[in-house]
Structure 1
């Protein structure tokens, strides 16, 4: 009689969504390529210089040698105890002009690897990224690349990391032959009691029982478990050294990913997910990248997506999944923790969510604070240009557009490199050559008081409008966005008329008293009425802007300008000169702090002044000064308020607005 076959427990494969982040030229894409090659996903190593990397697949990315769009690739780590780990690598841009791509990636990750250069060290963008990672408590490993380059550093770079990024770091490897082509690493072992004591002392800062043992000189046998726990909580960061080019240290990094990072547990059984990227096929069909947090998605399933518009209102759209591909897992279904590529959803946009719109972590980068007016180089192509920019905005919702008059369109931007990339995409993908005017800061308005206005139909007198609309506007706390409420009874008007009023309010607030978008404003509809049969929904769309801006004029509005939080690092003998420069640029400064041989000067500065600071700083500091900056708090404009040309016919001027409506009606005929 044959012996029974022993039963085997099949441990399911887990999925970890891992972001790779870095400043420009730290070697982030090269590291991604190395990990994919070492674990069998690709058969040959590509290179950034050669333009044949796995994740930088776009023509512009290959030619410029930078990552512009987030991309997803995968590899598998073997683990007979916990089960194999599929790692979905999300390669993100390093250039600050594409920080919106990084923001979207952070919202779907389980962990991150922050890459630094052993030569250049901590850069301004490194600090921006690390601050965001720590604020989100996203589990993060550090990888110091380029140990085989001349000028590579170890001990003083660790000191720099502890000083400028976080003191809570654990060096996991020892580097041999630093700064040579033969540079390599040796993993440090927890069996080494000195290393275990070093780790235990660091972990004790967040573990009171462990602190008591450390004080008593009792080093626990197992410090790997507590290190994993605190790493997963975003409290401590293991540091690895290596070279993506030679492969030194990348195996140790992969082992650290397996040992110290963990997939995020599903929050519930409900269907929840986030669209973090949108691509188009050669035929123009949208492909949405969806990170699923909980639930299951099947092919042919109908889904309901939610998004917030510029005013904060929640919109919904529905669609049926025509095609589904699970990253690393074939045709589906898509389960919690996985990333899927969905087709057949023509209305989908980046940022759309399944389930409640406040699920999952969100990053805290500010929206673009620069604006450029774009015109077609050849007359008569304004409509094509606007349509092309609108299509690009489907992939990047922070590229907001508005009609600027004269066939031009205004676009919100982060910087000059992003502007150049958009111009190239317009030409290559849509055949439209565009001319960008110089960028300027994007100001905005906030109401400063309470105001009311009403237009009431008079059956016995002359009327420009045969409708009644009353509006009250009031300020809200900064950061609240805009709200819309009805005090007038819903049944007084057909639903289509109420929708027309609400849509007109949203549109009107895009151009306040000075032409800038209005935010942090509560709008209440206090009165409504109409004369039948002389009314259609368009009449309320025409009248509402007059009343809303009339109420805002009574309340008053203040123009605010965007700003940056800055920290300027300068040698001691240049402190006085740099402080004077900052004050001349209208900066608000905090107390300077001495940090070794340099001084750190914190403050906030108007966005319009940052370029002047960057230009003047090297001359005042013999090239030794540096600037860290990130979008910071806005402040009320000091002096005369800047204005922007109106494109709404100017409802603030009764006669001018009526002529605008009349001309538009004639044009429609």
Structure 2
């Protein structure tokens, strides 16, 4: 197997760090560890690629097939039937070099469909590197851009920078042009789409740099020729390694049906050699734009040494200045080994990334970052590394995913997937779980730790997950997605938490009804479990369901990210949980927002008093409601609203009355989350916040309010401050907001509906039909372009979600079954038919 690149990778060794011998033994694995995610548009070949990784690393004897439902990572019945990835799946395997020092790769195979974007969000939170896969024919597609944008917004940690307080970097990435066995595939055209369509946070291009030149067996002559600079019709058989010196020709030879292709490595010569020299110089020229050492060689017209090229590629990748790109045909099992070499050579280990951002309520563990001091020759001690750095010995881990597996963990079978950032996680130790709000009342004891093998799990060796590792934990009963895990009683982690995992807002709702009374409890229990697994699901019962306008009678409202998302959840209810359930027609999830310039309240105290069971309760609040707008990088957001969480701001007067122990300034937006966290220790403040949040669930037109800033100006009770006044304050806050909304005019609020970006890929013969149908649905076309000068066209536009419910059936009829589409939520816009 091809592992030469790995052998040339400069390896860090524990001797480079001045640590205690005890801690040294627990961190020696770090240079040889890669936590990597694989991302792509739907059907670009992620899962097939993953299966081949397992094959060449001898984890499986034969790679599974997506079409036959035999893959390791796609293990849910719905995944195997539909041939798509629904849940992110983890797999661990080793990839060794000639020095026999295996690199362990923890790989996460993520979904490409936007309806399961929460899986991408929580994967991004724990990864150090990524492989971005694109189709050799289609290049960058709609959801390629979606997953790329998710990779640009690092949620928990970032990469090393000159200054520790600099903005967090995106995830370093290696590119892979897959499906080069397809007719019409074009390696360099696909690379071109990476640079044209993918932008980094600083608006620079992805800087995709081909480090291989494809080799094609020509149909006319049956000879192997260079696929550069123009594409050649024929079979993809191999690549030229442009990094090695001398360059090598790597060819995969078919060994018969079901057998792994043979790997043949030889010298590059003749016409292929000439073309390879041209491709190599193009690679060096692109590297010279981001690396000064390579630039010097380029300007002096000298060829940089192989070691310099490898070093440059690694540094440029880790610092997000470049994306090395390789070629593959995963279905034919070609190009697999060089991808693994690139993962080991160019993607970072846990030592190469910045420690995670830690929020803290304790001064001694403050999350405020300071500038990195100039390098010193003095040895670093273990205590010099920040909490969460792999060389810090205090346990800090993130629970990024929760699933339920029958027969595992006891109880409801809860299995928690966690990334250990620092310290060691051992079974039978007492852990404290802190949620996103900072509550740390969950104390747990894991019964066992498991190694990640997709749908199969095995006991972790020694029952210990070391720093930098990803593992599965059983025996935890309360831990949820986004919780921070620390050792109970460790003073170094008192009051700390990580950023957690963000979940997108639901946009589509269906009404569920149990067919029999005996199924109602079963349905509620099943939905509780599914909501723990998937934070992007929302379930409403009782009054909210009855007042939804989605049909009379009792029922449950289930909201998700799209038709496929909701369909898969309902399918799981029936199959996995044996719920006999009736599913209503889908409806979009409407929101309400105050109009620009509207300000409600803020003039006087609004008094609330009631007599309950002979006891009089009284409180009064003065608060102000107004619109806040979320920032967006989109160029064309006219008439559209990006949803933002409602915020609660307390003035110094209100905080003084509530006896809150923090700075008495008006709270800035950036500090609201911290101040709400501090308020949870105060019963009256907690009650006030609870009352406000509850009232904002229903706007003047019956929908949940969004993008509202509620400023509490004053709080008062006849009996003064005291914990016994909490109930009255909660009721007064709720009553005041309801009164302000009820007395508002019809022009003070607007109903918003989800707006989708629709991308349709269709043959030229049917583009007219698609465009005509799109305009009748109220869509606005933004772009129509051809795919690689082929007979296919791509239409991109924005359309209300309600207009494309059931669109897949209509598109099939419009295009004789050949059209495919992707719909992604982009914003909310005013709902015209209220």
Structure 1 and Structure 2 fold alike (TM over 0.5) = yes
- The reply to whether residue 220 of structure 1 matches residue 304 of structure 2 is yes
Of residues 208-217 and 193-202 in structure 1, the stretch that sits farther from structure 2 once superposed is 208-217
Aligned: 1:204 with 2:332 = no
1:22-421 counterparts in 2 under 5 A? 22-79=40-97, 84-119=102-137, 121-134=139-152, 136=154, 137-150=170-183, 152-165=185-198, 168-177=208-217, 183-190=236-243, 191=245, 192=247, 193-207=277-291, 210-211=294-295, 213-221=297-305, 222-265=308-351, 267=355, 268-270=386-388, 271-282=395-406, 283=410, 284-308=412-436, 313-325=437-449, 327=451, 330-354=461-485, 357=497, 359=499, 366-379=504-517, 381-403=519-541, 404-405=545-546, 406-421=553-568
Query: What secondary structure sits across from 1:327 in the alignment?
Result: strand
Whole-angstrom distance in 1 between the partners of 2:140 and 2:484: 35
**What secondary structure is seen at the aligned counterpart in 1 of 2:330?**
coil
* Residues 419 and 468 in structure 2, CA contact (< 8 A), matched pair in contact too: yes
Q: Is the contact between residue 173 and residue 317 of structure 2 (CA under 8 Å) also seen in structure 1?
A: yes
- Residue by residue, what CA displacement relative to the aligned partner does 1:525-562 show, whole Å, maximum 9, x if unpaired? 733437899x8976666564332211334564332222
Q: Tell me the CA shift for residue 394 of structure 1.
A: 0.3
d(CA) in 1 for partners of 2:692 and 2:742?
Answer: 15
For residues 47 and 320 of structure 2, what CA distance do their matches in structure 1 show? 24
Describe the shift of the 1:12–1:156 C-alpha distance in structure 2 as closer, same or farther (beyond 3 A): closer
Structure 2 equivalent of residue 563 of structure 1? 755
SS state of the match for residue 177, structure 1? strand
Deviations for 1:379-434, whole angstroms, at most 9, x for unmatched residues?
56434323321221001111111121233111221222222221122123322122
- Relative distance call for 1:181 and 1:203 in structure 2 (3 A) is closer
Distance 2:525 2:100 in 1: 50
Change (3 A) 1:620 1:417: closer
Unpaired stretches in structure 2, ≥5 consecutive residues = 1-13, 16-24, 155-169, 199-205, 220-232, 248-276, 356-385, 389-394, 453-459, 486-492, 547-552, 631-643, 661-680
TM-score with structure 1 setting the length: 0.80
Contact 2:214 2:236 in 1 (8 A): no
Q: How many residues align?
A: 623
Contact 1:472 1:551 (8 Å CA) reproduced: no
Is 1:608 the counterpart of 2:802? The answer is yes
- Report how far residue 591 of structure 1 moved: 8.2
Residue 290 of structure 1 deviates from its aligned partner by: 0.5
Partner of 1:505: 692
Structure 2 CA distance for aligned equivalents of residues 235 and 201 of structure 1: 14
Alignment of 1:441-590 (within 5 A): 441-447=588-594, 448-452=598-602, 454-457=606-609, 466-479=617-630, 480-484=644-648, 487=654, 489-490=657-658, 499-523=686-710, 524=712, 526-529=714-717, 544-554=733-743, 556-565=748-757, 585-587=777-779
For residues 244 and 626 of structure 1, what CA distance do their matches in structure 2 show? Answer: 22
Aligned-partner Cα distance in 2 for 1:23–1:395: 23
Distance 1:395 1:547, change over 3 A: same
- TM-superposition CA deviations, 1:89-116 (whole Å, max 9, x none): 1112233322221221122111122233
Q: Which moved more, 1:523-532 or 1:567-576?
A: 567-576
Contact 1:449–1:474 under 8 Å retained in 2: yes
* Structure 1 segments unaligned to the other structure (5+ residues): 1-7, 643-669
Q: How far is 1:79 from its partner? A: 4.0
- Alpha-carbon separation, structure 2, partners of 1:500 and 1:593: 55
Aligned to 1:466, the other structure's residue is in SS state strand
Q: For the residues of structure 2 that align with 1:219 and 1:51, how far apart are their CA atoms?
A: 48
